[in-house]
């Protein structure tokens, strides 16, 4: 039996929280587990008594994260859906001595699996696909929604055709902001976002989505997007940037027959891949 799970989900300091990290924690709570959350910057190296840790969402599989935020005293590193960072950085590749500590039950996608030459039948998925499994909302009027990525500092950004503007940075009331975002995306016509976990949650509900730029960068070229979208049926050539609702629909209509829906069976596979069991 596991009472508390030591979890690390990278987050910035402060009272705000990113949607993806919040979603992962809430999903684990819905599965009936308690968490000891070590997601504050540079916290784990100061806790040598912590011998086991789990990472869920995010680009945590690199030596930078390991050395700065996790630490050599960790004996077991459980991986439930973690993946590569935005870019392929071979100099930050985890060495074998660290990978040997990893108990991998789920990886985010095929790019991560290939990068680390991980063999075997590992489930490829993200915990965020459980959003629609655990959190349901009554139908509301359909609107076009934009959810801004939390690192995107452009203020008062306007996108053609958008009705509702939200942020993936949850503040000041994290719970209220989280459920507001989830309710809006679950009821949307289409969601435009630079946040991968907003897109993952949106797809979980069967709602169309499209990728927008963040801070002037083409977020559609990031390996975390490739990792995620290749896993559900797309090819790299299919993934491109949209900066209006019209462009979003054009992209979605170009890939909607290729992209795989998130089924209840797949969601239950994700739950079964969770590396801990209750009594």
Question: 65 near 39, Cβ under 8 Å?
Answer: no
Rounded Cα–Cα distance for residues 104 and 118 (Å): 9
Contacts of 125 (CB under 8 A, 6+ apart): 81, 106, 108, 231, 266, 269, 270, 273
Query: For position 21, what pLDDT does the model report?
Result: 94
Q: Measuring CA to CA, which residue among 259, 228, 271 is closest to residue 112?
A: 228
pLDDT in tens, 11-70: 766 668 899 999 999 999 999 999 999 987 678 888 999 999 999 999 999 999 999 899
Q: Is the pLDDT of residue 100 over 60?
A: yes
pLDDT in tens, 183-204: 999 999 999 999 999 999 999 9
- In 10 A of CB 250, how many CB atoms? 13
Average pLDDT for 79-88: 92
What is the 8-class DSSP label of residue 254? H
Residue % of the chain over a pLDDT of 90: 77
Question: 57 near 83, Cβ under 8 Å?
Answer: no
Q: Is the pLDDT of residue 144 over 90?
A: yes
Residue % of the chain over a pLDDT of 70: 96
Burial class (CB in 10 A: 0-12, 13-18, 19+), 21: buried
Structural domains in the chain, sorted by start = 4-130+265-272 (3.40.50), 131-255 (no CATH)
- pTM reported for the whole predicted model: 0.96
């Amino acid at each position: 039996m596991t009472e508390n799970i030591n979890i690390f989900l990278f987050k910035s300091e402060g009272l705000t929280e990113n949607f993806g990290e919040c979603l992962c924690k809430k999903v684990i709570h819905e599965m009936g587990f308690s968490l000891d959350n070590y997601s504050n910057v540079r916290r784990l190296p100061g806790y040598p008594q912590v011998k086991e840790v789990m990472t869920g969402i995010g680009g945590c599989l690199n030596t930078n994260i390991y050395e700065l935020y996790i630490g050599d005293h960790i004996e077991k590193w459980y991986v439930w859906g973690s993946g590569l960072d935005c870019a392929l950085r071979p100099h930050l590749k985890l060495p074998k001595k660290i990978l040997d500590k990893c108990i991998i039950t789920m990886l985010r996608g095929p790019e991560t699996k290939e990068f680390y030459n991980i063999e075997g039948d590992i489930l490829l998925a993200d915990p965020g696909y459980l959003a629609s499994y655990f959190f349901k909302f009554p139908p509301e009027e359909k609107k076009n929604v934009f959810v801004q990525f939390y690192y995107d500092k452009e203020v008062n950004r306007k996108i053609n055709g958008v009705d509702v503007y939200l942020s993936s940075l949850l503040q000041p009331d994290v719970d209220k902001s989280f459920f507001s975002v989830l309710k809006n995306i679950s009821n949307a016509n289409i969601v435009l976002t630079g946040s991968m976990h907003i897109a993952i949650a949106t797809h979980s509900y069967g709602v169309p989505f499209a990728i927008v730029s963040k801070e002037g960068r083409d977020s559609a070229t990031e390996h975390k997007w490739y990792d995620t979208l290749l896993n559900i049926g797309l090819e790299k050539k299919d993934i491109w940037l949209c900066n209006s609702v019209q462009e979003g629909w054009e992209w979605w209509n170009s890939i909607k027959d290729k992209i795989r829906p998130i089924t209840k069976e797949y969601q239950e596979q994700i739950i079964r891949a969770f590396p801990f069991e209750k009594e």
